[in-house]
Amino acid sequence: MLTELTKQFYKALHLVVRQIQDFARESGKSTDISLDRLSVSNPELASAFREAASDLRFLMLRRGFRTEDVRTKGVAEGKVAGMIAFRLLRHRIIHIGHTNPTVTDRYFGRLQELVVLRLVSESILGIDLDKSPFTHPGPGGATKPWLLHELLYLIARRHFNQETLALIFDTAVQLHKATSYSRA
């Protein structure tokens, strides 16, 4: 599982960087974010995943489950996503290269957070935070990802823990399911 999540982390990183570059190009702005300026600390990434796995084992033990029961015994996917996101957000995983340490792009400070939220929402929860019902109309007919913005604000400016993230992710999954049924 950790090998697959590590692969998904790198895929999410590439996707977020490409989205930032595309957004900059479409809006006529420049960006200094590129993959060749970034490095990933594999020891930090592995440590975060190990801590999340330890958290899951502790939760299972506390509830009296065996490890193999995780898929059948009521551990909500939002709870697992909250554990993983919390641990990934607490480690310094993505770093800027030293060749040109000056960064002017406002997204760089939130790059790791964007990658983590993309990873857990798409790879674990199977939802897209850039699509309805997680967006609202913005200026000029564009959509704004309200839940993504709220999560970024929470992570940057407020206290949060695994339980807070788990509650938000579980609610997002239920909202996605409810609105998917209504559109079907």
User: What radius of gyration do the chain's Cα atoms show?
Assistant: 17
pLDDT over 90 at 143, yes or no: no
Q: Give the single-character DSSP code of 122.
A: I
Average pLDDT estimate for 168-172: 94
What tokens does 52 get?
């999340």
First to last CA, the chain: 32
Quote the CA–CA distance of 54 and 59 in Å, as a whole number. Answer: 9
pLDDT over 60 at 171, yes or no: yes
Residue type, 97: G
Confidence of residue 169 (pLDDT cuts 50, 70, 90): very high
pLDDT over 80 at 146, yes or no: yes
Confidence of residue 96 (pLDDT cuts 50, 70, 90): confident
Quote the CA–CA distance of 82 and 6 in Å, as a whole number. Answer: 17
Quote the CA–CA distance of 168 and 94 in Å, as a whole number. Answer: 24
Note the pTM of the prediction, 2 decimals: 0.85
Task: Of 38, 154, 32, 21, give the one whose Cα is nearest residue 93.
Answer: 38
> pLDDT at position 141, please?
75
> pLDDT at position 83, please?
94
Residue type, 56: L
> pLDDT at position 98, please?
65
pLDDT over 60 at 53, yes or no: yes
Quote the CA–CA distance of 52 and 87 in Å, as a whole number. Answer: 6
